[in-house]
Amino acid sequence: MTDIQSNLFRCIQEKLGADVAMVKVLEKVLNQRAATIYKKIRGEISLSLEECKILLSHFNIPSQVVFQETPVSLSGFRHATSEGNDLNALTFLQGIQKALTVLSKLPEVEIWYASNEIPLFYYLLYPELTAFKLYVWNKTNWQYQHQYGTGQIRFSPEVIYSSYPEIDKIRQQLSALYFSCPATEFWPKHLLEHTLNQIQVSHHTGELSFQLKNKILEQVTDMLGFMQDMAVSGKRKDGKTNFELYLNDIAYTSNTILIRSEQQACQLFTVLDNPNHISTSDDTIVLKVEKWLERIRLNAVRISMEGERFRNGLFLHYSNRVKESF
């Protein structure tokens, strides 16, 4: 692919935003089949001069941005608030659902997820655990008062779900969507610590009742069983979709999600102000992170379908940490 063609497609994706499938848009703009568009994006077919003019005009992209030797990003990373969103428990989940719905439709899609804590989508399997994490995130980041009302101090799942009835349906749809996609995940030994600490601190400060604390810990225990079943089989919930798991005890990764399509990286999400993320489709950044994750993979221990000794030891450690928290 020429630098000009690569720059042009990068600029178009930045104009569209991370949650819009560029191929679908270009099918209509250029009146061409998706297969042809994909080949042009990959550089297997060159754009004609007329096609370049059409795209520059349609997306209002300055020609100097595309034709310069050093690529300049039009928007760089995009934050959840880039479009003026008022973040709260509902809009946070809606934003993730919108992006994942679009990306899951890409051909041969695959998710690489390197996490420093329990990956978001596992929380969503359990209503009380989901509500608790949203409660903590609202307290530490969004501080959206309407969600709890004045004077609401103690955590209550009912308050969250009554304030935003859509959340329960969204969490189920979002978890189902994520677990339908092939994925490679990288976990550290301290995967549970952040959430367990939040549970303990909230209980000690009186925000989390003894009954709810135990209920949430029971859900974490059930979640571990679900995780271990996937690790043993190397498959997602449906028993067919591939799942690879690596024990990463060598590199700090924060929470980083790389979307790959047809074995090529195309979109990056990484946490900035937890749990809010920033995203980019910039080729230089995305490919750099892909190489970084590949190096981590080579230095990590695969524990899905193999590495039984390491896998059993890891899940025993996780289980013991939960028991200590009751």
pLDDT, tens digit, for every residue of 273-291? Answer: 999 999 888 778 888 999 9
Provide φ and ψ at 287, rounded to 5°: -70, -35
- Is 180 part of any domain? yes
- Whether the predicted pLDDT of 200 surpasses 50: yes
Question: What average pLDDT does this structure show over 224-248?
Answer: 96
> 109 with 252, same domain?
yes
- Is 296 part of any domain? yes
> 150 with 90, same domain?
yes
> 95 with 42, same domain?
no
> 152 with 232, same domain?
yes
- Is 76 part of any domain? no
- Is 91 part of any domain? yes
> 96 with 60, same domain?
no
The 10s digit of each residue's pLDDT in 88-104 is 899 999 999 988 988 88
> 61 with 138, same domain?
no
- Is 77 part of any domain? no
- Is 121 part of any domain? yes
Residue 61 vs residue 319, higher pLDDT? 319
> 177 with 45, same domain?
no
Q: Give the C-alpha separation, 316 to 89, whole Å.
A: 33
Q: Residue 63: its pLDDT value, please?
A: 67
Range of the structural domain that residue 107 is part of: 86-325
pLDDT tier for residue 70 given thresholds of 50, 70 and 90 = very low
pLDDT tier for residue 83 given thresholds of 50, 70 and 90 = low
Q: Residue 149: its pLDDT value, please?
A: 43
CB 118 within 8 A of CB 192: yes
> 55 with 91, same domain?
no
> 51 with 97, same domain?
no
Amino acid at 101: T
Q: Nearest-CA neighbor of 265 among 243, 248, 292, 289?
A: 289
Q: Please identify, among 65, 95, 119, the residue that sits at the C-terminal boundary of a domain.
A: 65
- Statement: the pTM of the whole predicted model exceeds 0.85: no
> 132 with 252, same domain?
yes
> 146 with 19, same domain?
no
- Is 131 part of any domain? yes
Total domains present in the chain:
2
- Is 72 part of any domain? no
- Whether the predicted pLDDT of 84 surpasses 70: no
Residue % of the chain over a pLDDT of 70: 90
> 41 with 174, same domain?
no
CB 77 within 8 A of CB 279: yes
